[in-house]
């Protein structure tokens, strides 16, 4: 994807749960190969935004375009095939399976053409199980879990489990990776590693949509920040722009 192209765009996207407007006419553009973060207080509508763009919720009104295609009424598995991958706010790994197996199930056969070929620059013509396993090992190495390939996922420290989730999502060769609070429960050192990983993904033209509570992390890692408050976008721009926005300072930083 060329620099400056749009990966995902929402137009007046609204999600109502009964009388509660969880996303209120959200119009945002995610540029390809950038880290785009969504912040806001608890209940602001961050997870709802991710759930709408990933097809888990169907927006009440408005539209979504992903990679130049209308994505508004598409289901999550269709969006996954188009290159949209996500992790969940609560880890959903297969505890009894090894790390390697967890990555392999992330790559459903339909998505396996060129498992993460962009990053690893692997030829995509050799499609057999051994090849997948080799590629899955490369992904584990990429996220720093190469020593844990045969370990059961449940035996991993929590921070490692989060990285395994990311490896599993990357096995789908995504164009867009959605991360909902990936730093929750991580140590300072683990957050540093996660930030490096996220920047590296963006440098490989994988767009990252990041929802995070951890404001320092957001400010350090993001190209673009969207601030939600009661479902509405109150600010959207670069870190510097958002930091100096009076509405943000008042509503979010509370100073
Ligand atoms: P955040 O992730 O920013 O904490 P959410 O997107 O989870 O916020 O929630 C935004 C609002 O929408 C909250 O008031 C929440 O209770 C409500 N909400 C989210 N999902 C649902 C749902 N499936 N049904 C009803 N209300 C929901
Ligand atoms: Mg949330």
Measured torsion, CA atoms of residues 98, 102, 104, 105, in degrees rounded to the nearest 10: 130
Query: What ranges in the chain are assigned the alpha helix state H?
Result: 46-53, 76-82, 99-106, 117-120, 129-142, 158-170, 188-203, 215-221, 239-243, 246-248
Q: Which atom of ligand 1 is nearest to the CA of 15?
A: 12
Tens digit of pLDDT at every position of the chain (255 positions): 455 899 999 999 999 999 999 999 999 999 999 999 999 999 999 999 999 999 999 999 999 999 999 999 899 888 988 999 988 656 678 888 999 988 987 766 444 444 455 555 555 544 566 777 888 899 999 999 999 999 999 999 988 999 999 999 998 889 999 999 889 889 999 999 999 999 999 999 999 999 998 888 899 999 999 999 999 999 999 999 999 999 888 876 665
* Ligand 1 within 6 A of CB of 17: yes
* Distance from the alpha carbon of residue 109 to the mean position of ligand 2, in angstroms: 30
Contact call for residues 165 and 73 (beta carbons, < 8 A): no
Say whether the ipTM exceeds 0.95: yes
> Model pTM?
0.88
Beginning with the edge strand found earlier in the chain, give each strand of the sheet holding 224-229 in spatial order. Answer: 84-86, 176-180, 207-211, 35-39, 224-229, 232-237
* pLDDT score for 151: 96
* Distance from the alpha carbon of residue 158 to the mean position of ligand 1, in angstroms: 25
Write the residue with the smallest CA distance to atom 5 of ligand 1.
45
* Distance from the alpha carbon of residue 25 to the mean position of ligand 2, in angstroms: 18
* pLDDT score for 210: 96
**Domains of the chain: residue spans and CATH:** 30-83+176-195+208-255 (3.40.50.300), 93-174 (3.40.50.300)
Measured torsion, CA atoms of residues 218, 57, 176, 199, in degrees rounded to the nearest 10: 10
Q: Which atom of ligand 1 is nearest to the CA of 18?
A: 25
* Ligand 1 within 6 A of CB of 159: no
* Ligand 1 within 6 A of CB of 46: yes
């Amino acid at each position: 994807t060329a620099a400056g192209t749009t990966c995902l765009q929402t137009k007046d996207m609204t999600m109502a749960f009964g009388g509660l407007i969880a996303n209120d006419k959200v119009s945002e553009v995610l540029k390809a190969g950038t880290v785009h973060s969504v912040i806001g207080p608890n209940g602001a509508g961050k997870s709802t935004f991710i759930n709408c763009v990933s097809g888990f919720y169907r927006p009440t009104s408005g539209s979504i375009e992903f990679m130049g295609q209308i994505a508004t009424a598409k289901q999550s598995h269709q969006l996954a095939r188009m290159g949209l991958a996500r992790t969940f706010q609560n880890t959903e790994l297969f505890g009894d399976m090894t790390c390697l197996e967890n990555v392999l199930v992330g790559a459903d056969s339909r998505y396996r053409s060129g498992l993460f070929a962009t990053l690893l620059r692997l030829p995509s013509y050799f499609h057999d199980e051994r090849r997948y396993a080799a590629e899955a090992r490369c992904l584990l190495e990429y996220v720093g879990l190469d020593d844990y390939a045969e370990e059961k996922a449940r035996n991993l420290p929590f921070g490692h489990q989060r990285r395994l989730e990311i490896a599993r999502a990357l096995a789908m060769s995504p164009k867009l990776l959605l991360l909902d609070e990936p730093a929750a429960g991580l140590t300072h050192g683990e957050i540093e590693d996660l930030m490096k990983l996220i920047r590296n993904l963006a440098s490989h033209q994988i767009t990252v949509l990041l929802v995070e509570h951890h404001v320092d992390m957001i400010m350090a890692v993001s190209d673009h920040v969207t601030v939600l408050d009661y479902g509405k976008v109150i600010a959207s721009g670069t870190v510097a722009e958002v930091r100096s926005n009076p509405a943000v300072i008042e509503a979010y930083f509370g100073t």
